[in-house]
């Protein structure tokens, strides 16, 4: 059973999500709250597997709450955003979010995203990835992939294209386990933490650090 915490200052959002997710046999909504501080406290005091977290809330923002949650607990954070919040994308990923989805994501895609992050994957919707690309000023350099093998470069390209590990395996005629192992090697070589950072690095030449310009 995957234990969920829903965090949004709109009861309409949390209530709708609670109903949507509550019907899934492997998902259970532990609590709904409307403050980042409360989300941090609950994650630190209870076993929460995944938190779905809004960005803009009174008090502590979702981006700041993400940092506290990921640094002090094993809870995985999926940030739910709207199009006008793209300035938070890179900072959310930097702070440890393993998922970044739009609030209008199709229900089944959201449910699949929750299950995927529990398997160690990171989720970045294509629309959000496009926003991240637009948020950077043009860069003169491209990503330095010289430390990667040709196969690793191709896997990196497909990650940036938004493909899952399973889809990459099918396209490259590899096992999913081989792709998983290759991605771990890629992360180590590029000194990155998440596949979402790999995608942004490949597309922009920047790793999504504090020096990234919006």
Structural domain harbouring 54: 2-135
Query: Are 94 and 118 in a shared domain?
Result: yes
Beta-carbon neighbour count of residue 11 at 10 Å?
11
- Give the CATH number, domain containing residue 189: 1.10.10.10
User: Do the domain assignments include residue 143?
Assistant: no
- Whether residue 155 contacts residue 168, with contact meaning beta carbons closer than 8 Å, is answered with yes
pLDDT tens-digit series, residues 136-170: 444 445 678 889 999 999 999 888 877 888 899 99
Query: What token pair was written down for 64?
Result: 């700041």
Helix, strand, coil tally for the chain in percent (to 5) = 50, 15, 35
pTM over 0.75: no
Q: Is the model's pLDDT at 206 over the cut of 90?
A: no
Does the residue 169 lie in any domain?
Answer: yes
Is residue 141 situated within a structural domain?
no
- The first and second tokens of residue 123, run together, are 């989720």
pLDDT, average across residues 184-192: 92
In a domain, 145, yes or no: no
Cα–Cα distance for residue pair 135/129, rounded to 1 Å? 10
**In this structure, are 108 and 21 located in the same domain?**
yes
Query: Contact, 117 vs 48, CB < 8 A?
Result: no
Asked whether 50 and 120 are in contact (CB, 8 A), the reply is no
Residue 127 lies in a domain: yes
72 φ, ψ to 5°? -120, -5
pLDDT of residue 4: 97
Please check the confidence at residue 71 and state whether its pLDDT lies above 80. yes
128 and 160 housed in the same domain? no
32 strand-pairing partners: 6
Structural domains of the chain, count: 2
Q: What residues are paired with 77 via a beta bridge?
A: 51
183 pLDDT higher than 60: yes
CATH of the domain at 67: 3.40.50.2300
Structural domain includes residue 144: no
| The most confident of 21-35, 117-131, 191-205, by mean pLDDT | 21-35
| Residue 18 sits in the same domain as residue 122 | yes
Same domain, 48 and 116: yes
- Could you tell me if 192 and 155 lie in one domain? yes
Tell whether 9 and 107 lie within a shared domain: yes
99: left (phi over 0), alpha (psi -120 to 50) or beta: beta
What gap in Å lies between CA 82 and CA 72, rounded to an integer? Answer: 27
Same domain, 155 and 127: no
Same domain for 71 and 127, yes or no, is: yes
How many Å apart are CA 121 and CA 197, to the nearest integer?
Answer: 12
Same structural domain, 25 and 107: yes
| Residue ending a domain, choose from 80, 109, 135 | 135
User: Do both 113 and 9 map to the same domain?
Assistant: yes
Question: Which phi and psi (to 5°) does residue 125 adopt?
Answer: -65, 150
């Amino acid at each position: 059973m995957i234990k969920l915490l829903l965090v949004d200052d709109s009861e309409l959002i949390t209530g709708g999500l609670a109903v949507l997710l509550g019907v899934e046999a492997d998902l259970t909504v532990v609590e709904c709250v409307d403050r980042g501080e409360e989300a941090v406290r609950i994650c630190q005091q209870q076993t929460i597997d995944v938190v779905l977290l809004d960005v803009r809330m009174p008090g502590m923002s979702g981006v700041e709450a993400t940092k506290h949650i990921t640094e002090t607990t094993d809870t995985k954070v999926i940030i739910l955003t709207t199009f006008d919040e793209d300035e938070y994308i890179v900072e959310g990923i930097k702070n440890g979010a393993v998922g970044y989805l739009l609030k209008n994501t199709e229900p089944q895609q959201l449910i699949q995203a929750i299950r995927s992050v529990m398997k160690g994957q990171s989720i970045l919707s294509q629309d959000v990835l496009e926003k991240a690309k637009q948020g950077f000023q043009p860069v003169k350099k491209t990503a330095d992939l010289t430390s990667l093998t040709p196969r690793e470069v191709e896997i990196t390209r497909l990650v940036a294209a938004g493909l899952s590990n399973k889809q990459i395996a099918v396209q490259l005629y590899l096992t999913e386990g081989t792709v998983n192992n290759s991605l771990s090697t890629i992360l180590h070589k590029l000194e990155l933490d998440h596949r979402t950072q790999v995608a942004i690095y490949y597309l922009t030449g920047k790793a999504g650090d504090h020096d990234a310009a919006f």
